[in-house]
Amino acid sequence: MQKNSYNLSIQVNYTEQDLILKLKERDTRAYSYLYDNYSAALYSIILQILHETELANDVLQEVFINIWRKIESYDATKGRLFTWMLNIARNASIDTLRSKEYQNSRKNQEMTENVHTKTAGLIHLPDIDNIGLVKILGKLKIEFRVLIELAYFKGYTHEEIAEIEGIPLGTVKTRIRSALLQLREYLQ
């Protein structure tokens, strides 16, 4: 298991298997450990999607409550615990991003911006903090970067992206796959 410097509680070492077992038994100490170890990493992803601390705090709370409620359904054969949590965090963030209230509150800011214009992805890029995946994204070619930004951080489907970018669906799919392969190399 990844050790990190953000653990503020008394260090108890769990293997990933142990941790999952304890979580499924609804052991609050294990849950506290989970929070101490992973909340900062997940918070970073949430912030990268939402860019607003208040909203990100609420989403992080929602995410950890969902982890607590849904831990029964976590299946270790399908991926690591962190991957599962990361996807919960990303989905919750994108739901919030898409929710009507949020859209409304941002309306004034985005008045001039139409997501169905070709430059939607580009306009958002300079806003992004220089952290995490976003930082690595910066190394990608611009056409790859825009696609990952739209797919991963904005949660658009391949079909929506094809429409936004005005390129064929097949091309969207191949380019995203190539972008991801490059991303993998940068992560290593």
Q: The dihedral of CA 48, 75, 17, 188: what is its sign? A: negative
61 binds other proteins (CB under 8 A): yes
User: How would DSSP label each residue in 98-115?
Assistant: HSHHHHHHHHHHHTT--T
Tokens of 9: 């509680």
| Contact window for other proteins (CB under 8 A) among 97-105, 119-127, 162-170, 172-180 | 172-180
Tokens of 46: 């949430």
Smallest distance from other proteins to CB 111, Å:
30
Q: Which of 15, 78, 116, 127 binds other proteins (CB under 8 A)?
A: 78
| Contact window for other proteins (CB under 8 A) among 78-86, 99-107, 114-122, 138-146 | 78-86
Closest to 36 measured CA to CA, from 64, 59, 58, 7: 7
H-helix or E-strand spanning residue 12: none
86 binds other proteins (CB under 8 A): yes
Is 93 in contact with 59 (CB distance < 8 Å)?
yes
CA distance 89 to 39: 10
Closest to 165 measured CA to CA, from 114, 121, 112: 121
6 or 110, CB closer to other proteins? 6
Smallest distance from other proteins to CB 47, Å:
6
Interaction residues for other proteins, span 90-119 (CB under 8 A): 90-91
Interaction residues for other proteins, span 12-41 (CB under 8 A): 26, 28, 31-32, 35, 39-41
CA distance 20 to 30: 9
170 binds other proteins (CB under 8 A): no
Q: Treating both helix axes as pointing N-terminal to C-terminal, what angle do 81-98 and 100-110 enclose, rounded to 10 degrees?
A: 60
Q: Which residues of this protein are in contact with other proteins, per CB under 8 A?
A: 2, 4, 6, 26, 28, 31-32, 35, 39-45, 47, 56-57, 60-61, 64-65, 68, 77-80, 82-83, 86-87, 90-91, 131-133, 135-136, 151-152, 158, 176-178, 180-181, 183-184, 187-188
